[in-house]
Amino acid sequence: MKSSRKIDHIVYSVLDLDKAMDHIEKELGIRPVFGGYHKTQGTKNALLNLGDGCYLEILAIDNQNKDINTPRWMGIDLITEPRITRWAVKSESIDLDSKILKSFDKTMGEIYEGSRKTTSGETLAWKMILPLASPEIELMPFMVDWSSSAFHPTEKLENTCLIKDITFAGNIPDKNNLVFDELDISHNITRSANNKISVTIEGPNGLIILK
């Protein structure tokens, strides 16, 4: 029986961060909180607490950062409309997770240590499997270890939303599901012509589906 490794966060890549925050606030009844800038990746984000140590990361290009080499990470340069492009699970053995991902795709599995200042001046620090720039939507999760950080992002966010469901579909579900098994991930991928991740979130105003 599969265990249930916890989701750390879900990446919702958007064309305009402010407009996306406005849309989510209107639909869910709570406004995401601006997070900060990823200086080495050329992106910025806002965060929404989804409960149980999980959050939605709304990710957009930081057009003020002219010192970055493209393509940027997480499929952000490939989207033509808002999309769930990546997702992350919590890791207690990131070296082992890296080996498993590399066995699936040799371009995956690079371990990266990062940090950023929050708007209140505190420092978030993490170790992660670096998400790739392509494809637009990647069904394989990346992994995050927050053990070196003073706190997890959700600890500073209001908790009024819940993730109700997450589904995955792709064109090689059998191969992907084998890797999910190795990673102790309880979700299954159904067959589809294109990769798709769909997330259902409940907030004060009701339900919203992002995909």
Q: For the segment 71-99, what is each residue's pLDDT rounded down to a tens digit?
A: 999 999 999 999 999 999 999 999 999 99
- In the CATH hierarchy, which fold is given to the domain comprising 7-210? 2,3-Dihydroxybiphenyl 1,2-Dioxygenase; domain 1 (3.10.180)
pLDDT tens, residue by residue, 4-18: 789 999 999 999 999
Domain ranges of the chain: 7-210
- 3-state secondary structure labels for all residues of 98-155: HHHHHHHCCCCCCEEEEEEECCCCCEEEEEEECCCCCCCCCCCCEEEECCCCCCCHHH
pTM of the predicted structure, to 2 decimals: 0.94
